[in-house]
Amino acid sequence: MLFRTLALAVFAALLTAAPASAAEAAPPTLLAGSYWDGFVDHWSAVFQKQNGIVMGALLVGAVCLFIITRGKWKK
């Protein structure tokens, strides 16, 4: 039973890795550079709009209220 499970896992790994092994290897980047650049570009575009700034301020306010109200019971 254990041998069959192990063989199935190895087969599945080889089957799914075949297309990736044929692809050209990209050089490693610090903190997944292209993903991080896209993330920063997206959120900087969001906060350049007025509704993005308003939503950001409301989110910060909600987090602040949550922190303030959770600490009141310890007095």
Query: 67 lies in a domain?
Result: yes
Query: Is 60 inside a domain boundary?
Result: yes
For residues 52 and 46, the answer to whether their CB atoms sit within 8 Å is yes
Residue 57 included in any domain: yes
The C-alpha atoms of residue 72 and residue 63 are separated, in whole angstroms, by 15
Full domain range(s) for residue 58: 50-75
Q: Is residue 17 part of a domain?
A: no
Does any domain span residue 63? yes
* Angle of helix 33-47 versus helix 50-71 axis, rounded to 10: 100
Residue 27 maps to a domain: no
Q: Is the pTM of this model over 0.75?
A: no
Task: Copy the structure tokens of residue 3.
Answer: 């041998």
Could you give the number of structural domains in the chain? 1
Between CA 16 and CA 27 the distance in angstroms is: 21
pLDDT at 11: 67
Going by C-beta distance under 8 Å and a sequence separation of 6 or more, which residues neighbour residue 56? Answer: 47
pLDDT tens readout for residues 7-37: 777 766 665 665 555 556 555 555 556 788 8
**Quick check: is 7 in a domain?**
no
In a domain, 65, yes or no: yes
